[in-house]
Amino acid sequence: MTTTDTTPHILISGGGIAGHALALQLVRSGIRTTVVERADAPRAGGQAVDLRGASRVVAERMGLMPGIEARLLHERGLSYVDGSGRVFGRMSMEDFDGKGAVAEIEIARGDLDEVLREALAAASAEAPGLLDLRYGDRIAAIAQDADGVDVAFERAAGERFDLVVGADGVHSATRRLAFGPEEDFSTYLGGYMAFFTLPTPSDVEPGWFSMRFVPGATFGIRPDFDPATSKAIITLRVDRDPALRGDRAAQEALVRRSLEDAGWHAPTVIDAMREASDFYFDELARIDVPQAANGRVVLIGDAGACGSPMSGMGTATALIGAYLLGARIAETPGDPAASARRYSADIVPFAEAGKQLMGGGIQRMVPANRFEALMSRAMTKVMLSRLARPIVKKMFAANQEELPLPVTAPAPVRATPVE
Ligand SMILES: Cc1cc2nc3c(=O)[nH]c(=O)nc-3n(C[C@H](O)[C@H](O)[C@H](O)COP(=O)(O)OP(=O)(O)OC[C@H]3O[C@@H](n4cnc5c(N)ncnc54)[C@H](O)[C@@H]3O)c2cc1C
């Protein structure tokens, strides 16, 4: 193919939130798009993610809100429980005007991904031949020159593209191949997080995200869209162990050890973990990439900037990034490298905001030992008391200063709402 066409061919590595959102934008703009996802099927996992400020505006402009609203979690708030399940503190959604730990718009990550994939299928049906969605493959090598990027795949034959977008998450292979080794960009934040689906225990309060502090860990049970199931959320405060990467048995063993004396629903959570088909486990890492664009290779979502799931901002930043890059490419389709450069400047304030840890990082969020677990409980009681609520409310609100979108990007072409 020639790379001087005004309709470029773009490769997206990674079919997660960022990859699907960008593909949607591109296909709607009439741009040929290939998505290569290393998993054999879409990855359905993840617990509630929230959309606030600019990410909500983006979801609206992309016509995603009807689909999102149909899958809203309607969470009532966050409650803290002791070893026998008694609630000792609450942060309700209303008391914090949707700006506390639980926002007005909460949707399970897998459900948001499904909304994006449905929209993508609809856009692709309206413009056949533009989208090539491949599972079970990945990029093996990238070589760029002034006019294009030659890409070798692990399974498919090599191809030349006009732009390669790394949307392949916190351990991005695109970043490694085109920017440098992971260690140059990743900072370990002191722990690991695991998420998976479990049958809802009968005594869990409907609509409430219930959470418990124990020495070295927090674990919680959070509503799912289907009330028969819930999401387990486990945060572990431990030193980094590279042997855990990709080894599910070792990851499960660590979770089991950390929760064995944790009381409340720890045994239920541990039992469900073994069976979970959507078990997700990863280290908590911040990703800092000074420039998201390197010629004709560009990074979006966690690959380019990430504050870990502790920030609660990964999905929002991924959606905003995909929207901005899509808009920039649509503006100058004949010059993808220039689009990538402009996007790289656009995303900086959002990327920086997305790295902030509202709860103050793992040292503040997860007690190291029994004494700290008791202190966390006492502090939580004080902070969530009626007296302290206005101060805590202000702290949360201050952390959510709304950033305007930097381009008055046009709403994507043919943004048919997804029901
Ligand atoms: C299964 C799953 C569950 C998650 N659950 C939560 C959660 O509960 N809470 C939370 O805050 N964050 C969660 N995250 C992370 C969250 O999705 C991201 O922080 C955020 O949505 C940004 O999205 P992203 O597209 O950049 O990354 P991701 O959503 O992580 O998507 C990256 C995609 O790239 C694919 N990929 C990775 N390497 C390659 C490769 N070499 N070649 C091709 N494809 C590759 C992955 O399989 C994945 O589909 C989860 C991620 C996944 C994959």
What pLDDT digit, counting tens, does each position of 378-409 carry? 888 888 888 887 887 777 766 656 777 876 55
Residue from 17, 197, 235 whose mutation best tests the ligand 1 pocket (most atoms within 8 A of CB) = 17
Which pLDDT value is given to residue 2? Answer: 37
* Number of separate domains in the chain: 2
Q: Is 18 in the pocket of ligand 1 (CB under 6 A)?
A: yes
| Contacts for 133 with CB less than 8 Å, ≥ 6 apart | 15, 23, 34, 35, 37, 120
Q: Is 290 found in the same domain as 273?
A: no
Residue 171's pLDDT band (boundaries 50, 70, 90)?
Answer: very high
Q: Is 201 found in the same domain as 53?
A: no
Three-state SS annotation for the chain: CCCCCCCCEEEEECCCHHHHHHHHHHHHCCCEEEEEECCCCCCCCCCEEECCHHHHHHHHHCCCHHHHHHCCCCCCEEEEECCCCCEEEEEECCCCCCECCCECCEEEHHHHHHHHHHHHHHHHHHCCCCEEEEECCCEEEEEECCCCEEEEECCCCCEEECEEEECCCCCCHHHHHHCCCHHHCEEEEEEEEEEEEEECCCCCCCCEEEEEEECCEEEEEEECCCCCEEEEEEEEECCCCHHHCCCHHHHHHHHHHHHCCCCCCHHHHHHHHHHCCCCEEEEEEEEECCCCEECCEEECHHHCEECCHHHCCHHHHHHHHHHHHHHHHHHCCCCHHHHHHHHHHHCHHHHHHHCCCCCCCHHHHCCCCHHHHHHHHHHHHHHCCCCCHHHHHHHHHHCCCCCCCCCCCCCCCCCCCCC
Is position 409 within any domain?
A: no
* SS3 state at 196: strand
Which pLDDT value is given to residue 1? Answer: 37
Q: Is 365 found in the same domain as 277?
A: yes
Which pLDDT value is given to residue 386? Answer: 81
Q: Is 328 found in the same domain as 207?
A: no
Is position 233 within any domain?
A: yes
Distance 202 CA to ligand 1 centre (A): 31
pLDDT per residue over 223-246, tens digit each?
Answer: 999 999 999 999 999 999 999 999
DSSP per residue, 349-380: HHHHHHT--TT--HHHHS-SSHHHHHHHHHHH
Q: Is 111 found in the same domain as 242?
A: no
Task: Round the average pLDDT of the chain to a whole number and report it.
Answer: 90
Which pLDDT value is given to residue 392? Answer: 78
Q: Do residues 154 and 140 lie in contact, with contact meaning Cβ atoms separated by under 8 Å?
A: yes
The 3-state DSSP composition of the chain as helix, strand, coil percent (nearest 5) reads 35, 25, 40
Q: Do residues 381 and 89 lie in contact, with contact meaning Cβ atoms separated by under 8 Å?
A: yes
Which pLDDT value is given to residue 49? Answer: 87
Give the CATH number of the domain where residue 203 resides. Answer: 3.30.9.30
Residue-number span of the structural domain to which 208 is assigned: 77-105+189-284+359-398
- From the CB of residue 371, how many other CB atoms can be counted at a distance below 10 Å? 10
Is position 238 within any domain?
A: yes
Which pLDDT value is given to residue 407? Answer: 62
Q: Do residues 184 and 172 lie in contact, with contact meaning Cβ atoms separated by under 8 Å?
A: no
Distance 168 CA to ligand 1 centre (A): 7
pLDDT per residue over 300-358, tens digit each?
Answer: 999 999 999 998 889 999 999 999 999 999 999 999 999 999 999 999 989 998 888 87
Q: Is 115 found in the same domain as 25?
A: yes
Q: Do residues 284 and 362 lie in contact, with contact meaning Cβ atoms separated by under 8 Å?
A: yes
Listed residue (8, 18, 14) closest to 354, CA to CA = 18
Nearest CA to ligand 1 atom 5: 46
Which pLDDT value is given to residue 387? Answer: 82
Which pLDDT value is given to residue 259? Answer: 96
Q: Is 200 found in the same domain as 155?
A: no
Q: Is 15 in the pocket of ligand 1 (CB under 6 A)?
A: yes
Q: Is 46 in the pocket of ligand 1 (CB under 6 A)?
A: yes
* SS3 state at 188: strand
DSSP H/E element including 230: strand 229-237
Is position 415 within any domain?
A: no
Torsions phi, psi for 211 (to 5 deg): -135, 150
Which pLDDT value is given to residue 93? Answer: 79
Residue from 20, 37, 58 whose mutation best tests the ligand 1 pocket (most atoms within 8 A of CB) = 37
Q: Is 377 found in the same domain as 273?
A: yes
Task: Out of 5-14, 200-209, 229-238, 244-253, pick the least confident.
Answer: 5-14
Q: Is 22 found in the same domain as 146?
A: yes
The conformational region for residue 222 under phi > 0 = left, psi -120 to 50 = alpha, else beta, is beta
Residue 410's pLDDT band (boundaries 50, 70, 90)?
Answer: low
Q: Is 368 found in the same domain as 259?
A: yes
pLDDT per residue over 91-111, tens digit each?
Answer: 887 777 766 677 778 899 999
Rg (CA), the chain: 21
Q: Is 179 found in the same domain as 56?
A: yes
Which pLDDT value is given to residue 6? Answer: 65
In this prediction, residues 170-189 reach a mean pLDDT of 98
Strands 163-166 and 297-299: parallel
Nearest CA to ligand 1 atom 30: 169
Distance 171 CA to ligand 1 centre (A): 9
Is position 306 within any domain?
A: yes
Q: Which of 339, 354, 369 is the last residue in one of the domains?
A: 354
Is position 403 within any domain?
A: no
More confident residue, 2 or 296: 296
Alpha-carbon dihedral 36, 248, 108, 102, rounded to 10 degrees:
-130
Strands 9-13 and 163-166: parallel
Is position 2 within any domain?
A: no
d(CA 35, CA 23) in angstroms, rounded, equals: 7
Give the CATH number of the domain where residue 173 resides. Answer: 3.50.50.60
- DSSP bridge pairs for 191: 237
Task: Out of 130-144, 165-179, 203-217, pick the least confident.
Answer: 203-217
Residue 3's pLDDT band (boundaries 50, 70, 90)?
Answer: very low
Q: Is 19 in the pocket of ligand 1 (CB under 6 A)?
A: yes
Q: Is 273 found in the same domain as 365?
A: yes
Nearest CA to ligand 1 atom 50: 46
Which pLDDT value is given to residue 398? Answer: 66
DSSP H/E element including 57: helix 53-61
Torsions phi, psi for 367 (to 5 deg): -65, 140
In this prediction, residues 270-276 reach a mean pLDDT of 95
Is position 58 within any domain?
A: yes
Q: Is 193 in the pocket of ligand 1 (CB under 6 A)?
A: no
Which pLDDT value is given to residue 322? Answer: 97
DSSP per residue, 252-269: HHHHHHHHTT--TTHHHH
What's the Cα-to-Cα distance from 228 to each of 197, 198, 204, 301, 344, rounded to whole Å?
A: 10, 9, 11, 31, 43
